[in-house]
Amino acid sequence: MEPTTGWRYRIASSLGASVLVVCSIVVANQPFAQTVLTAVPPFDRLAPTVLTDGRLLVAILTALLLMLAALLALFKPHPRRILDTISLTLRRVFGGALALAAIGYFDYTYRLPRTTLLLTTLFLTIALPAWFVAIRRRPAATVERAVLVGDDPASMAELVDTTDLPIVGYIAPAIRYDATQAPAGLEVADGGTHVHTRLDDIERLGGLSRLDELLVAGNIDTAILTFERSDRAEFFGALATCSSHGVTAKVHRKHADSVLTTGTGVGELIDAELEPWDWQDRTIKRGFDIAFALTGLVVLSPLILAIAVAIKLDDGGPLFYGQERTAEFGETFRVFKFRSMVPDAEATTGAKLSEEDAGGVDPRVTHAGRLLRRTHLDEIPQLWSILTGDMSVVGPRPERPELDDDIETNLIEWRRRWFVKPGLTGLAQINEITGYDPERKLQYDVKYINEQSIWFDIHIVVRQVWLVLSDLFVTITSR
């Protein structure tokens, strides 16, 4: 079978999977199949159960919805090798089967009987991997269609000369310089009114605002990102667009320290990865975040009230302190903490210190603030940021944008932290590393990004809770 591409692949993969799921359930629901299964140990303890009429239809629709949700990542037209395709499909099938089993646990009226669920899972572990292998987009030895995407004409012109990839055009703002504006290395022609480069030998497909439609219309396999700097808007926006269309994104190795990479590449180009978590893992992580934040706000509500009263009795000032922090992909959001310093503390000193930058002996720290800082209770309002989606429970701690800019000057790898949502706590925090030691903090943050999992998150949270309780115990016993 010839490999399918673009929307043809999305339609074929989803329809084919739907048909296989429905057919597997229908076959598994047959009395003969049920009898064969229950004759084989250890399944002989199960009783054959056959659904009929409306119950079967609703059970099929329920199973189809959950299984398609589990298989969602496979519907993206991304080139995969045979073993990778089989492995990913099996993981998704087992994830969908687990969701169906969970419905049975909650005694859903139209759940699949255990015998039918077992047979359906068995059939799908054979049929679905075979289907996705048959229609997969095969990684080609040479990429058929590649484009340059960016705003750096010098790098684009260089890549046209040096890369072996067949470039069909470039997507960039209109580029035209006079002799005084031309970047170094570009040839000025036409009496200084035009800069002639190798870009003139290939077609300009359009501007960056049309990137989404141009990738689809041109059936593009690979986009080579050639931005002057991996900035917060265009660069990450282009990565996101490539990811949504299953287009392989490559960057020059000079940007490799600013992005997450897959470790593969061609010559001076290296593959970039936008999201270190797949769809299923992100859903579980988000569910954990919501459950943690809701539980924390409810359980700590009496303590929150007591803290609010203590702050008001201390100096009568505002309860919260807000500050802009860097979020995922370099965006910003406003983070809140219980105020632990006098109102307008930065304005009174002219310093750019934040609440967490100032030491415990700072005269601007209030009496209530000293206790809040030592016990980390001033961080409680950030549970609301987790609930709204600005933060996660676990991730790199968000920094002020101006501090990010300062650190980037010496640590270009710092931007790797932007590929995950900032967290209430993180691997650096449980090892007591702060922004005062950015190199070590970056090492821990990158380690978390590379190794993150829901179990890793739970381990970090348990460790952080233990540290908070220890600090609270020491504070109480020392008074």
Token readout for 103 is: 């419905």
User: Which pTM value belongs to this model?
Assistant: 0.51
SS (H, E, C) the chain: CCCCCHHHHHHHHHHHHHHHHHHHHHHHCCHHHHHHHHCCCCHHHCCCCCCCHHHHHHHHHHHHHHHHHHCHHHHCCCCCCHHHHHHHHHHHHHHHHHHHHHHHHCCCCCCCCHHHHHHHHHHHHHHHHHHHHHHCCCCCCCCCCEEEEECCHHHHHHHHHHCCCCEEEEECCCCCCCCCCCCCCCEEEHHHCEEECHHHHCCEEECHHHHHHHHHHCCCCEEEEECCCCCCCHHHHHHHHHHHCCCEEEEEHHHCCCCEEEEEEECCEEEEECCCCCHHHHHHHHHHHHHHHHHHHHHCHHHHHHHHHHHHHHHCCCCEEEEEEECHHHCEEEEEEECCECCCHHHHHCCCCCCCCCCCCCCCECHHHHHHHHHCHHHCCHHHHHHHCCCEEECCCCCCHHHHHHHHHHCHHHHHHHHCCCEEECHHHHCCCCCCCHHHHHHHHHHHHHHCCHHHHHHHHHHHHHHHHHHHHHHHHHC
- 13/131 Cα distance (integer angstroms): 8
Q: In the listed set 89, 107, 135, which residue is the last one of a domain according to the structure?
A: 135
ω into 42 cis (within 30 of 0) = yes
Residue 412 lies in a domain: yes
Place 419 in a pLDDT band, splitting at 50, 70 and 90: low
Mean pLDDT in residue range 434-456: 75
Distant-in-sequence, close-in-space partners of 167: CB < 8 Å, separation ≥ 6: 146, 147, 148, 159, 160, 202, 224
Q: Which residue has the higher pLDDT, 212 or 461?
A: 461
Is there a single domain that holds both residue 156 and residue 247? yes
Least confident of 154-168, 275-289, 376-390: 275-289
CATH code of the domain containing 171: 3.40.50
Per mean pLDDT, which range of 271-285, 290-304, 362-376, 441-455 is the poorest?
271-285
**Higher model confidence: residue 196 or residue 114?**
114
- Same domain? 29 vs 72: yes
Same domain? 301 vs 247: no
Domain assignment present for residue 183? The answer is yes
Are 378 and 402 found together in one domain?
Answer: yes
Indicate if 355 and 293 belong to the same structural domain: yes
Which of 84, 100, 135 marks a domain boundary? 135
Both 166 and 115 in one domain: the answer is no
Same domain, 219 and 296: no
Is residue 352 predicted with pLDDT exceeding 50? no
CA dihedral 278, 284, 288, 294 (to 10 degrees): 110
315 and 437: one domain? Answer: yes
Residues 426 and 378 in one domain: yes
Q: What is the mean pLDDT of residues 274-292?
A: 75
Please give the Cα distance from 286 to 397 (Å, whole number): 17
Give yes or no: residues 87 and 104 share one domain: yes
Of the residues 72, 100, 135, which one is the last residue of a structural domain?
Answer: 135
Is pLDDT at 17 greater than 90 in this prediction?
A: yes
Residue 233 sits in the same domain as residue 305: no
Q: Is the pLDDT higher at 78 or at 223?
A: 223
The answer to the question of residue 240 being in a domain is yes
Higher-confidence position of 366 and 229: 366
**Between 183 and 74, residue with greater pLDDT:** 74
What average pLDDT does range 177-195 have in this prediction? 46
Residue 277 vs residues 246, 256, 286, 417: alpha-carbon distances, Å = 16, 19, 11, 14
In a domain, 386, yes or no: yes
Which residues are bridge partners to 249 per DSSP?
A: 223
- The fraction of the chain above a pLDDT of 90, given in percent, is 10
Asked, for residue 90, whether it belongs to a domain, the answer is yes
Least confident range of 15-29, 212-226, 246-260, 351-365:
351-365
433 in a domain, yes or no?
yes
In tens, the pLDDT along 18-45 reads 999 999 999 998 988 888 888 888 777 8
Domain membership of residue 437 as a residue range:
279-478
264 and 308 within one domain:
no
Kindly give, in sequence order, each residue whose CB lies less than 8 Å from that of residue 402, ignoring residues fewer than 6 positions away.
Answer: 352
Residue 11 lies in a domain: yes
Position with higher pLDDT, 336 vs 350: 336
Taking 60 as the threshold, does the pLDDT of residue 179 lie above it?
A: no
Q: Name the nearest CA neighbour of 116 among 15, 18, 31.
A: 31
If one counts the domains in the chain, the total is: 3
| pLDDT at residue 192, rounded to an integer | 46
pLDDT tens sequence across 229-268? 655 567 777 877 787 677 888 877 666 555 555 555 555 6
Tell me what the mean pLDDT of segment 130-145 comes to: 69
- Confirm whether 141 is domain-assigned: no
Cα dihedral sign, 283-414-394-302:
negative
CB atoms closer than 10 angstroms to residue 141: 5
259 near 419, Cβ under 8 Å? Answer: yes
